[in-house]
Amino acid sequence: MIIEDDEKISQIMYEHLKKWKFHPFAANDFETLEQQFLTLKPDLVLLDINLPVYDGFYWCHKFRQLSKVPIIFISSRTENMDIVMAMNMGGDDFIQKPFSLEVLTAKINAILRRTYTYQKGNHDYIEHKGLILNMNKGSITYLDFELDLTKNEYQILFLLMKKKETIVTRDEIMQALWESENFIDDNTLTVNIARLRRKLEELGLTDFIETKKRQGYIIP
């Protein structure tokens, strides 16, 4: 589903994707996007930020309430805050205009492969809000940037992502580490959580892990 109000750009993307055997749909009524989305049930959304009526951030948030479909923002905005906002609203990737059609195709293929191969049972990684935990490599990837994790950081993030949207207690985390023969005490857990958060922030993911006072941690 292409949501781009510049007719020329929309048409170029439409023709290019059709040539590559995709089945694109270019929206041209920007007041009924929710209804179009529900009717079409797209496998992927290409979404501009500057749109008539409501902007792309609004529609991304709206679509996220309805579906986990991958969303790629395509925009001329270049401020880091716009990219952060796009990801925080539930976007999976961000392509800046002007862009190469070859890069667009490569990113579409990658995100479709990542999203739908995983759903079919490929458990080499866990993905949430665009962050990928590479289980074979013990690293995290976000927007094509990759960082290595220590064993403790990996185990903590793995548990939190596996139980995403659920509060995980400190005792649960320490027990999980103990079972993996990598025991850490309460103070060391605090240090590891802080280091893990710093690495996530390096990738532009602030507040990815939330603290629930007297309860534990959660990835919302």
∠ CA 194-64-84, rounded to 5°: 45
The architecture that CATH gives domain 125-218 is Orthogonal Bundle (1.10)
Higher-pLDDT residue of 178 and 213 is 213
User: By the 8 A CB rule, do 80 and 10 touch?
Assistant: no
Range name among 82-91, 120-129, 163-172 with the lowest pLDDT average: 120-129
Neighbours of 23 (CB within 10 A): 9
Phi, psi at 43, each rounded to 5°: -85, -20
pLDDT at 135: 83
Give dist(CA 134, CA 123) in Å, integer: 9
Residues 6+ positions from 129 with CB-CB distance below 8 Å: 87, 90, 92, 205, 208
- Closest CA relative to residue 95, chosen from 72, 111, 64: 72
The architecture that CATH gives domain 2-119 is 3-Layer(aba) Sandwich (3.40)
User: In the predicted model, what is the mean pLDDT of residues 121-129?
Assistant: 72
Give dist(CA 135, CA 155) in Å, integer: 10
Over residues 39-77, the pLDDT tens digits come to 999 999 999 999 999 999 999 999 988 888 899 999 988
Q: Is 173 helix (H, G, I), strand (E, B) or coil?
A: helix
Higher-pLDDT residue of 201 and 80 is 201
pLDDT at 79: 82
Give dist(CA 37, CA 70) in Å, integer: 13
Higher-pLDDT residue of 94 and 114 is 94
User: By the 8 A CB rule, do 40 and 25 touch?
Assistant: yes
Task: Work out the end-to-end distance of the chain between its first and last CA atoms, rounded to an integer number of angstroms.
Answer: 26
Binned at pLDDT 50, 70 and 90, residue 80 comes out as confident
Write down the residue that tokens 């929710």 correspond to. Answer: 34
User: In the predicted model, what is the mean pLDDT of residues 122-151?
Assistant: 84
pLDDT at 120: 45
Q: What is the mean pLDDT of the chain?
A: 88
Over residues 145-202, the pLDDT tens digits come to 889 998 889 989 999 999 999 999 998 898 887 765 455 677 888 999 999 999 999 9
pLDDT at 184: 67
Give dist(CA 159, CA 177) in Å, integer: 10
Domain positions in the chain are: 2-119, 125-218
Tell me the percentage of the chain whose pLDDT exceeds 70.
94
Phi, psi at 50, each rounded to 5°: -80, 100
Q: What is the pTM of this model?
A: 0.55
